[in-house]
Amino acid sequence: MMREYSNEDDCTKEKTNLVKSENVEADNYLEMEHLTYLAKLISMTERENHHLNSIKLIDDIIELHNDRKGNKLLWNDNWQDKIIDRDLQSIFKKIDEMVSEFGGLEAYKDIVGESPYDPTEPVCGYSAQNIFKLMTEGEYAVDPVKMAKTGKINGNQFAEKLEHLNSSNNYVALINDHRLGHMFLVDIPSTNRERVGYIYQSDLGDGALPALKIADWLKSRGKESINVNKLKKFLNDEFTMLPENEQKGLIAEIFDLNKDIDSVKSGKIKKDKAVDIYLREYDINDFISNVEKLKTKLA
């Protein structure tokens, strides 16, 4: 039924109001679109900034590792002091004393096979625990050995905790996988999207995984994120119940430099062993500051 108007002015007013209403709806829609775009842009900027920081930090760790002095500062079992307070003079004095006990440098090299003054390759525990200190230490020293013993959780508990992490915060997990005979670190940065992790690791190759140098990993796979759902699946108690090929495929995807399934030694996986995890929040500014302070000691 067509609406009747008492006069032409009423008709004109209604049409004007209708146009205004449509314009308001259009403006509201555009405003919502704009706000949504800004939220996405902020989220992308935050992720990009963290990713750029992470890449810079990884490159700095590689630089420290390859440096004669930096190597000794990084890979050390002095847990009671802050990593930035490690003293190069004391470190090299201990090396001098050790060399003297062997009867000199040449005698040492004949027996051990390398010079103790040269940069060394850290075992998996050394790399994971020392980078954990580097990431988490602020005002006080952090002892990763003690902390991992007192606050450890298993893989299933880790999966539950991941569901409730504050998306605005950064977290790091120190993981001792007794099944593989391997210790590694997972950086879990803040994000407004799906959680991802970045793995820090090295390996002597005595367990289920092949030998791996820390710098080789960091230069390539260390800058590549891993979906935390895959990590949760690997750390779950039921992982060892999966078909062998599925186990090897997941291990290779997460840990092997070339994601080569044939490099995984499934016969060395100890299915009856546990996974110990220590999860902690960290401040990216502390991480950056600690790395920069170590770099100043290289001069």
Catalytic residue among 50, 164, 178, 201: 201
Written as six digits, the tokens of 158 are: 């880790």
CA distance 20 to 40: 30
> Are the C-beta atoms of 201 and 217 separated by less than 8 Å?
yes
Catalytic residue among 65, 124, 129, 247: 124
Angle among Cα 136, 202, 173 to the nearest 5 degrees reads 35
> Are the C-beta atoms of 212 and 202 separated by less than 8 Å?
yes
Phi-psi group of 103: left, alpha or beta (phi > 0 → left; psi -120 to 50 → alpha; rest → beta): left
Catalytic residue among 65, 129, 182, 247: 182
65 is catalytic: no
> Are the C-beta atoms of 259 and 252 separated by less than 8 Å?
yes
CA distance 247 to 126: 26
Sign of CA dihedral 79, 153, 183, 285: negative
Q: Give, in order, the Cα–Cα distances in Å from 33 to each of 30, 38, 39, 156, 293.
A: 5, 9, 10, 40, 44
182 is catalytic: yes
- CB atoms under 10 Å from CB of 127, counted, come to 27
Alpha helices in the chain (DSSP H): 8-66, 68-74, 88-102, 105-112, 124-136, 144-150, 155-162, 214-219, 228-235, 244-255, 284-295
201 is catalytic: yes
Catalogue the active-site residues.
124, 182, 201
